[in-house]
Structure formats: structure tokens, C-alpha cells
Amino acid sequence: MLIKVLGSAAGGGFPQWNCNAETSRRAWAGDPRARARTQSSLAVSCDGEAWLLLNASPDIRQQIAANKQLQPRVDGPRRQSPIRAIILTNADVDHVAGLLSLRERQPLTIYASDRVLRAISANSIFDVLSPDHVARLPLTMECPTPVRHRNDDLGLTVEPFAVPGKIALYLEDPSAGAALGTRDGDTVGLKITEAASGRSFYYLPACAAVDTPLRHRLRGSALVFFDGTLYSDDELIRQGLSDKTGQRMGHMSMSGINGSMASLADLDIGRRIYVHINTSNPALIEGSVERAAVERAGWEIAYDGMEVRL
């Protein structure tokens, strides 16, 4: 199984178009330690021919251009793509906006929770993906589902599970108070398994906390891609970029006693990789104090074009 990191940054990419924080200034200036990144997405394949996308980034056109395996075959028909299916982990703009670039009557299969599919159905702009060509299939929590495209089996199984998170910003209901309308299915994690070998990995680009069920689930896993949005919970406030904490945004921080480095430290995970990293996160900068702390804790910072084989 081959896993390609198409985009490793959070919403807005790195550097975000309007960000003038220290991390982004380095990237704008071309500092080689501040490598630019597109918005979060993975691609997975068993054979290098048929591909599954995990989330559809607004930068999907750029990501396809940067990855030849995702481009139409030279000897193929006039309209064709090796991208056969997409799984959405939530309805955030940085995970669904790329669907609009995958129009033009291309056969695809979209998998998501009922909650996410309803959010897409409620916005008629997504009807540019013709239902005659693009199937929308609901995922059942805790239920392993073979990933298929029409009559083709991609050789992968997905098992979705609810994780602590938050409803997409544009769907928030202020009258709901602290819960902000969050329910199971607003944010999911994925276990992706290669059917032939039984090898598997976990993908959690958004997670607000590591609770006991999640600890049990991830213990002893070979590979985890995990939410790396912020290094510290009050990062955006301290940098003058926002009035929101990471928790208010539905993301746990890397550092601190309740951060992901501490929460996942004793779970015997083989390889731990941060994805969905915000433009404000100082761990993006190679050689920084924060990057060193992340690496000492046994974590890697994903970058666009990174490949992992299982």
C-alpha cells in the first residue's frame, strides 16, 4: 500500500494568503526552512493505478499537477482519471471544496458520514458533480466498508469512527452554545486497511481530544497521521491572528499535558506523522525549537509529496 501526502497544511495552506505572522513571513521570503504546503489531503493506492483520496482539498488541481500518478494516462481515453473514490472526514471547506474541481462528468464515488453528506446535499453548488456519474455513499460508524468504484474493488477497506471534534465553521449554530451543534459524524477518523495484506493505518486530520476509546483504538498501530493544526492552544491569540483557541476550533494542540505528543506517547505507535498543520505553527520551521521538540517525541512533520509504504 502506497500513501502519498498531497497536502500537509491546514485550511489556507502555508503560507496562508493573508498571513503575515513570523512563520508565514519566512515562507513568503523563500526561506528553505519554511517549505510551502498545500491544504490537507492524502492519496492511497494498492497498485499505483487506482487511487483513493482522503479529503478533497481546495488545492486538488495543483496537487494533481504535482503528482503524475494522479494524472490521466497517456494511452487512456480522452476523459479519464486514476482517482476513483474520495472519503471525507468532515464538511470543513478545506476538505470538501476540492470536489468542485472534480466535475466535468467524471465517474467517482464519494464516501462520508450521513451528517457530511447532508451538508453537501444542502448546498446545490455540489450538484456540478452529476449524480449520473458521481455516487454519494454513506459510511456507517465502526463498520468496515470495502472501497469500490462502480464494479471495481480498490482493494482497500475503510472503517470510520467518531472522534471528538466540531461541526464545520459555516454550519455552526450559535444558539447551540458550547456544543455548536456537534454530533457523531461531524468529524470522523479513518482506519484504512489493505485487504490483501491486512496492513492498516489511521488518518485523523481533525481531533479535539484523545479520549479513552481513541487511546484503545490507536494502541499498537503501525502508522498514524494525526491533527497537527497548532503547536499550542493559544497560539493564534498570542500571534494576534484570531481570538479563538485550538479547542474552540475543534483541534487539540501538539504540546502541553493534554496535547497530542503527551496523549499518544505511551501507545506503542510505530510511526506518527502530523498533518493539517496551520500556517501559524512554529513546528513548520525546520530547525526551530518546536520542531526539535516534536522530533524528540518521535513525531514527523508531513510535507507535500511525502510517501509512505506499508
Residues 91-97, mean pLDDT to the nearest whole number: 92
User: What are 39's strand-pairing partners?
Assistant: 9
Give the side-chain half-sphere CA count within 13 A for 244.
12
Average pLDDT, the chain: 92
In the chain, the percentage of residues whose pLDDT exceeds 90 is 78
For 274, the 3-state DSSP assignment is: strand
CB 117 within 8 A of CB 136: yes
The pLDDT tens digits for 162-215 are 998 765 545 445 544 444 445 566 889 999 999 999 999 999 999 999 999 999
pLDDT the model gives residue 249: 76
Cis peptide before 15 (omega within 30 of 0): yes
CB 256 within 8 A of CB 290: no
* E strand spans, the chain: 2-7, 41-45, 51-54, 83-87, 108-112, 134-138, 145-149, 152-162, 188-194, 200-204, 223-227, 271-275, 299-301, 307-309
- Given the DSSP bridges, would you call strands 83-87 and 145-149 parallel, antiparallel or unpaired? unpaired
CA nearest 190: which of 244, 139, 125, 121?
139
pLDDT the model gives residue 182: 58
Q: pTM here?
A: 0.93
pLDDT the model gives residue 41: 98
Counting every residue, how long is the chain? 310
CA nearest 13: which of 53, 54, 63?
63
Domain 2-309 has CATH 3.60.15.10: yes
CB 52 within 8 A of CB 59: no
pLDDT band at 258 (very low <50, low <70, confident <90, very high): very high
Q: Where are the domains of the chain?
A: 2-309
